[in-house]
C-alpha cells in the first residue's frame, strides 16, 4: 500500500513539484545553520555547549537545528515568529480591539499576521542582542574565549545577521506553506529537531559495538521508542466527537440545514506548546544558576534537575496547567456556542447558548486531562531512558511530539492531494469529457 502511494505521488506532477520545492527549502535552511557568524571561535563554543545540554541553551539549540551551538546566522531560528504568534493569540482573547479584528475574517487575519511580523522583528532583535552579549563574555571550559575580539562592531554585526536570518527563515516558512507541502513553520522546526539524530544514532551503534551497551538493552530501547511513538500517534489522533444537528430553514423555495455533523474535540488540542512553556520555565532558573558558584545554586541544581522527584512533579504539573491554559485560549466554548446558534445548530438534548458553552467546556476539561497526563509522562520518559540504558541521545518530549505531529500533518496533506486527484480522474473519465465533446 505504501509503495502504491509513493508511485501515485511520483505520477502527480503538481504534488511532486510541491514535495521537491519543500526539500529545496529545507536544504537552504540546513545550509544556513552551518554558515557561522564572523568573529566567533567555533571550537570554544562547541566545548561550552557540550556541558549545557540540560539547560535552556541546549533546549533552544535543539529547536534551531544546532545553529546556536555553531553560532550560525540562523542561531535565533524561527522561535521569534512562534513567540510573536503565541503572544498575539493570547492578546486576541484579552484585547477587545484585536478580538474585533479577529472576527472580521480574512482582512482581520491578514492584519493580525502583519502585526505578528512586526513583533517578530522586535523579539528577534532582543534575542539577537542577548546572544551577542552572551557570546562576547563567554569562555569555554578549557579557558578559550568564544569571541576573541568583542566590541561594538561584533555586537552590531551579530545582531544584524541574526535578525536577518530569523526574518529570512520566516519567509522560507511562508514559501513552504504557499508553494510546498505542509505548514512551513512546522516543517522548519521538524527539520531542526532531526539535526542531531543521525549523530546520536551512530554514537549509540558505536557503543553497542564496543560493548558499552548490551544487545538486549539496545533491543529494549528500540521497543520502547516504537511503543512510545505508536502511543503518541494514537493519542494525537484521538478525539471526542460531539454530535451537532442543524435545524431546517426555508428561504424562498429552498430548504437549508437539516443535516447532522459533529464537533471534534481532540485530546491534544494545544500540541507541543505546553511542553515548550513548561520546559522553558524550568530550565531558565537552572541556566541562571549555572553562572554562579554560590551554595544555593548547587542546591537548586541538585533538586531541580531531570530525574529528581521534585523536578518531575513540577514539570508534569506545569504541562497539565499549560495544556488547559492554551486550549482555553485557542478554543473558546462561548464563541463556539454562539457560532452554532447563529447558524441554527445545536447539540441534541442541550439548550443553545450558555448551556451549550458549559457543556462543551465540561467535555473539553474531561478530554484534556488524560491527554495532558499522557504527554507529561512522555516528556519525563527520556531522562529515565538515558539514565537506565546509558544511550547518548535525547528521546521523547518535545522532539517526539514535533516529529509525530508534523509527520501526521504532512501525510494528511499528501493523502488529500491523492484523493483530490482520484476525483479529478473520475471526472475526466466521466461526464465532463462528454460536455467538451
Whether the predicted pLDDT of 54 surpasses 70? no
pLDDT in tens, 83-139: 788 788 778 877 888 888 877 777 888 888 888 899 999 988 988 888 888 888 777
Q: Which 3 state secondary structure label does DSSP give 72?
A: strand
Q: Hey, how many other C-beta atoms are within 10 angstroms of the C-beta on 146?
A: 23
pLDDT in tens, 128-168: 888 888 888 777 777 778 888 888 888 899 999 999 999 99
pLDDT in tens, 368-380: 888 888 888 888 8
pLDDT of residue 315: 84
User: Any idea which of 261-265, 285-289, 358-362, 424-428 has the lowest mean pLDDT?
Assistant: 424-428
pLDDT of residue 280: 66
* Of 274, 381, 261, residue with least CA distance to 328: 274
Tell me the sheet residues that pair with 139.
145
Q: How confident is the model at residue 327 (pLDDT cuts 50, 70, 90)?
A: confident
The residue with cell 521534585 is 310
pLDDT in tens, 202-217: 877 887 888 878 888 8
pLDDT of residue 393: 61
Torsion angle of the four alpha carbons 392, 393, 394, 399, in this order, in degrees rounded to the nearest 10: 170
List domains and CATH numbers for the chain.
15-195 (1.10.3370.10), 197-437 (1.10.3370.10)
Beta-carbon contacts of residue 253 (< 8 Å; ≥ 6 apart): none
pLDDT of residue 171: 92
Whether the predicted pLDDT of 425 surpasses 60? no
Beta-carbon contacts of residue 47 (< 8 Å; ≥ 6 apart): 140, 141, 142, 144
Q: How confident is the model at residue 291 (pLDDT cuts 50, 70, 90)?
A: low
pLDDT of residue 92: 80
The strand order across the sheet containing 345-346 reads: 260-266, 239-246, 345-346
Q: Which 3 state secondary structure label does DSSP give 256?
A: strand
pLDDT of residue 28: 92
- Give the pairing type, strands 239-246 and 254-256: unpaired
Amino acid at each position: 500500500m505504501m509503495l502504491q502511494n509513493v508511485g501515485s505521488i511520483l505520477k502527480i506532477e503538481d504534488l511532486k513539484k510541491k514535495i521537491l520545492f519543500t526539500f529545496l527549502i529545507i536544504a537552504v535552511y540546513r545550509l544556513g545553520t552551518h554558515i557561522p557568524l564572523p568573529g566567533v571561535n567555533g571550537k570554544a563554543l562547541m566545548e561550552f555547549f557540550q556541558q549545557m545540554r540540560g539547560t535552556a541553551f541546549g533546549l533552544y539549540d535543539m529547536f534551531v537545528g544546532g545553529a546556536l551551538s555553531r553560532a550560525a546566522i540562523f542561531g535565533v531560528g524561527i522561535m521569534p515568529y512562534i513567540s510573536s504568534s503565541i503572544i498575539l493569540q493570547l492578546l486576541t482573547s484579552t484585547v477587545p480591539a484585536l478580538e474585533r479584528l479577529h472576527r472580521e475574517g480574512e482582512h482581520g487575519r491578514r492584519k493580525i499576521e502583519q502585526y505578528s511580523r512586526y513583533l517578530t522583528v522586535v523579539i528577534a532583535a532582543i534575542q539577537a542582542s542577548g546572544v551577542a552579549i552572551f557570546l562576547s563574555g563567554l569562555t569555554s571550559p578549557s579557558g578559550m574565549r568564544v569571541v576573541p575580539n568583542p566590541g561594538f562592531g561584533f555586537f552590531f554585526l551579530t545582531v544584524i545577521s541574526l535578525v536577518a536570518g530569523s526574518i529570512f527563515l520566516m519567509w522560507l516558512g511562508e514559501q513552504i506553506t504557499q508553494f510546498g507541502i505542509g505548514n512551513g513553520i512546522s516543517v522548519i522546526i521538524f527539520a531542526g529537531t532531526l539535526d542531531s539524530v543521525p549523530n546520536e544514532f551512530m554514537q549509540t551503534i558505536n557503543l553497542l559495538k564496543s560493548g558499552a551497551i548490551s544487545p538486549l538493552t539496545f533491543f529494549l530501547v528500540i521497543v520502547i521508542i516504537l511503543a512510545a511513538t505508536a502511543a503518541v500517534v494514537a493519542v494525537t489522533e484521538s478525539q471526542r466527537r460531539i454530535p451537532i444537528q442543524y435545524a431546517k430553514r426555508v428561504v424562498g423555495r429552498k430548504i437549508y440545514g437539516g443535516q447532522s455533523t459533529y464537533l471534534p474535540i481532540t485530546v491534544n488540542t494545544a500540541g507541543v506548546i505546553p511542553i515548550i512553556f513548561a520546559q522553558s520555565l524550568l530550565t531558565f532558573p537552572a541556566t541562571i544558576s549555572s553562572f554562579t558558584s554560590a551554595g544555593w545554586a548547587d542546591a537548586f541544581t541538585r533538586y531541580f534537575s531531570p530525574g529528581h522527584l521534585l523536578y518531575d512533579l513540577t514539570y508534569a504539573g506545569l504541562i497539565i496547567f499549560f495544556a488547559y491554559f492554551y486550549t482555553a485560549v485557542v478554543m473558546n466554548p462561548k464563541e463556539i456556542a454562539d457560532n452554532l446558534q447563529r447558524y441554527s445548530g445545536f447539540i441534541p438534548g442541550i439548550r443553545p447558548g450558555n448551556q451549550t458553552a458549559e457543556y462543551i467546556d465540561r467535555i473539553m476539561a474531561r478530554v484534556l486531562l488524560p491527554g495532558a497526563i499522557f504527554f507529561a509522562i512522555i516528556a519525563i520518559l527520556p531522562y529515565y531512558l538515558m539514565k537506565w540504558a546509558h544511550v547518548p541521545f535525547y528521546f521523547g518530549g518535545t522532539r517526539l511530539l514535533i516529529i509525530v505531529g508534523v509527520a501526521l500533518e504532512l501525510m494528511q496533506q499528501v493523502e488529500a492531494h491523492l484523493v483530490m486527484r482520484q476525483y479529478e480522474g473520475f471526472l475526466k473519465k466521466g461526464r465532463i469529457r462528454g460536455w467538451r465533446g
